[in-house]
Amino acid sequence: MTMQMPAAPLPRGSLTPKSYSAEEIETEAKRLQKVINQGQLWDLETCKTIAPLTLEINELKRANDVFLIAHSYQTPDIVY
């Protein structure tokens, strides 16, 4: 049995994450692509679209000593 994976979410809304360098975004996108491990849906360009958000989320988690609990059905921008 093959499970059909949903499409990667498209950016929406007016959230403006902090500014990150191209190198930081590239590094984070590569990290995301590796841990997500779904190259067909989450190619490097798609990972770059969520990299600024995951960078900021992870910074806030460290700064506030927070551990986010997410279910396996959450999209990678939430989980990673």
The pLDDT tens digits of the residues spanning 49-63 come to: 889 989 998 998 899
Asked if 46 and 8 touch (Cβ cutoff 8 Å), the reply is yes
Where do we find the tokens 């999209």?
75
Structure confidence at residue 12 (pLDDT): 65
Percent of the chain with pLDDT over 90: 36
Q: Which two tokens stand for residue 15?
A: 């959230």
Q: For the full predicted model, state whether its pTM sits above 0.75.
A: no
Mean pLDDT of the chain: 82
Alpha carbon dihedral 24, 55, 10, 45, in 10-degree steps, equals 20
Structure confidence at residue 1 (pLDDT): 61
| C-alpha distance from residue 64 to each of 15, 49, 74 (Å) | 20, 25, 22
